[in-house]
Structure 1
Amino acid sequence: MSQTKVFAHRGFSGIAPENTMAAFEKALEAQADGIELDVHLSRDGELIVMHDEKVDRTTNGSGWIKDLTLAELKQLDNGSWFGKDYENETVPTLAEVLELVGDSDLAVNIELKNTIIPYPGLEQKVIREVERFQMQDRVILSSFRHDSLQLVKKICPAMQVGALYACGMVDPWVYAGYLGVDAIHPHYLAATEEIVAGCHRHGIRVRPYTVNEEEDMKCLISAGADAIITNYPDRLRRLLPGDGK
């Protein structure tokens, strides 16, 4: 069994504003194995990295990403909400993040944020951007919208995809097999030892989210989770044998 990987949730969001270049840089410094981020489409069709559909919570602006252009989004303060040290943080594009980590061996888990806003063409645009950076072998696409993941597989069968869900699903490997996905990304409370073992028997990887307490991390490491998505990659790294690599 391979060792559990460390995925930094929205970057190292425990110590830097989520989904910013600063958070991704700090994830690299913390020797995370991967980063997790979220993508939307702007009004002019650019791939925007932010969690919420609206900019209100994490910037000094307001409104829906879908109604703002890239130029308008770039004018926003994307870090002061977290602390004065981050007042120069801007809203990143997917290309900026892929360029940042391009020379590393970091895995990139891109969540397609198309549950509330069904952005037309989001899957195709993300796949094209990943292919442009030649990072197909390092990228995982995930979504709570599972028909979107089926579309990804139809467009690019080699792309790794993971089905996000929050419920206590019975025999999720059966559903994963029906969907044709490579992994499940469940809420950590739904990732029991039995669930992980069942998925592994059927060739399905398990990457629970968002795991921030050490006791929960220990349980998931013991259960054999393939990766753990956490706001505190340093905390998880300390719990892994050796240097965790």
Structure 2
Amino acid sequence: MTNKFFILIIICSMLACNATKNIQQQSLKNIDKQGHRGCRGLMPENTISAMFKAIDAGVNTLEMDVVFTKDAVAIVSHEPFFNHEITTLPNGQFVDEAKEKNYNIFKMTFAETQRYDVGLKPHPRFAQQQKLATTKPALASLIDSVEAYTEQKKLPSVYYNIETKTTPATDNIFHPAPAVFVSQLMKVIINKHIETRVIIQSFDRRTLQYLHQHYPTIKTALLIEAFDKNSFRKQIKDLGFTPTIYSPEQALVNENLIAACHKAGIKIIPWTINDKATIQQFIKLGVDGIITDYPNIFNEIKN
């Protein structure tokens, strides 16, 4: 009896381990795998090449940022100016950090922005990033390129998680005010027929509020930084509606926050997680997605 009981315990333990493994694999399969700025760790950020690399890594969603030019072209860029970390000037020199905000994209035409390279300068924080000559693309061109790429490779269509780069202090200085910004952005989205595959995210509640009022079917994500000490409940109350996604900085994520989001019917997708162990930990805790500079890590977890 003792031997049979011991064997039974071993069998039960093995079944439990397999069940746990299957649950973890299913969780990874179901989470929204998002490539931050395409895949900033491997390719120049917010470029078409970065988006292709992220797609090849198996992302569900391409995360990116949008600003506007003087002639109202939506351009994919994290800053509304040419950042010193990534920019080479038309004369071949690098941008001085103290002067970077002088290169204000909102004061340039789209044609003028294409004179600045954002892929050749070695990135000080991303040593693996491949260098290539490239410029900041128009959002419309990026969407066309991505749609053609997935169709050519017979891959599932991807989602677009687009951040509106606005703050009250810089309205009409570095970007349009929220109403104009959102309206111009939505013209591109509607023209490209991707409304059902778009998430608009922002730290600036004003753009999300305007979007919710005028385009209520579009998915929204509230971005939260670690220094925001307001409670989850107050943040949602201040927003004034229930967003599709709550997207906090990774330092804020814990079981209680995840539970609060899910209780409110909100998905939680933290940013920006760049190590395998933390990604695995967050998946186990029950997040709905992961935003990372290194989407290739997802393939390592599968193996």
**Fold equivalence (TM over 0.5):** yes
Unaligned runs of 5+ residues in structure 1 are none
| Structure 1 SS opposite 2:195 | coil
- Mark the structure with the bigger radius of gyration: 2
Amino acid in the other structure paired with 1:91: K
Aligned residue among 86, 94, 119 for 1:79: 119
**Equivalent residues in 2 for 1:206-217, closer than 5 Å:** 206-217=268-279
Amino acid in the other structure paired with 1:88: A
In 2, the alpha carbon distance for the partners of 1:85 and 1:219 equals 29
Alignment partner, residue 229 of structure 1: 291
How far apart are 1:39 and its partner, in Å?
Answer: 0.4
Q: Is the 8 A contact 1:123 1:148 kept in 2?
A: yes
How far apart are 1:99 and its partner, in Å?
Answer: 1.2
How far apart are 1:176 and its partner, in Å?
Answer: 2.6
Q: Is the 8 A contact 2:33 2:290 kept in 1?
A: yes
CA RMSD of aligned residues (A): 2.1
Higher helix share: 2
**Which region of structure 1 is more displaced relative to structure 2, 169-178 or 66-75?**
169-178
In 1, the alpha carbon distance for the partners of 2:301 and 2:256 equals 22
2:213 counterpart of 1:154? yes
**Equivalent residues in 2 for 1:128-207, closer than 5 Å:** 128-167=187-226, 171-173=231-233, 175-176=235-236, 179-180=240-241, 181-207=243-269
Q: Is the 8 A contact 1:173 1:202 kept in 2?
A: no
**Which region of structure 1 is more displaced relative to structure 2, 192-201 or 170-179?**
170-179
2:140 counterpart of 1:95? yes
Aligned residue among 14, 20, 24 for 2:51: 24
How far apart are 1:215 and its partner, in Å?
Answer: 1.8
Normalising by structure 1, report the TM-score. 0.90
Change (3 A) 1:34 1:131: same
Aligned residue among 22, 34, 42 for 1:7: 34
Aligned length: 241
How far apart are 1:53 and its partner, in Å?
Answer: 2.2
Q: Is the 8 A contact 1:146 1:179 kept in 2?
A: no
Amino acid in the other structure paired with 2:54: A
How far apart are 1:87 and its partner, in Å?
Answer: 3.7
Q: Is the 8 A contact 2:42 2:130 kept in 1?
A: no
How far apart are 1:5 and its partner, in Å?
Answer: 1.7
In 2, the alpha carbon distance for the partners of 1:210 and 1:237 equals 17
Aligned identity (percent) is 27
Amino acid in the other structure paired with 1:231: D
How far apart are 1:94 and its partner, in Å?
Answer: 0.8
Unaligned runs of 5+ residues in structure 2 are 1-25, 90-99, 124-128
How far apart are 1:85 and its partner, in Å?
Answer: 6.2
**Which region of structure 1 is more displaced relative to structure 2, 65-74 or 175-184?**
175-184
Amino acid in the other structure paired with 1:179: G
For residues 32-57 of structure 1, give each alpha carbon's deviation from its aligned partner in whole angstroms, at most 9, with x where no partner exists. 11111000011111101111222132
Aligned residue among 170, 186, 195 for 1:117: 170
Q: Is the 8 A contact 1:171 1:198 kept in 2?
A: no
How far apart are 1:100 and its partner, in Å?
Answer: 2.1
2:80 counterpart of 1:60? no
Q: Is the 8 A contact 2:43 2:130 kept in 1?
A: no
For residues 105-149 of structure 1, give each alpha carbon's deviation from its aligned partner in whole angstroms, at most 9, with x where no partner exists. 211100000126332311111111111111111110001101210
How far apart are 1:64 and its partner, in Å?
Answer: 1.1
In 2, the alpha carbon distance for the partners of 1:199 and 1:154 equals 22
Aligned residue among 80, 93, 107 for 2:159: 107
Alignment partner, residue 9 of structure 2: none
| Structure 2 SS opposite 1:161 | strand
| Structure 2 SS opposite 1:60 | coil
Q: Is the 8 A contact 1:42 1:67 kept in 2?
A: yes
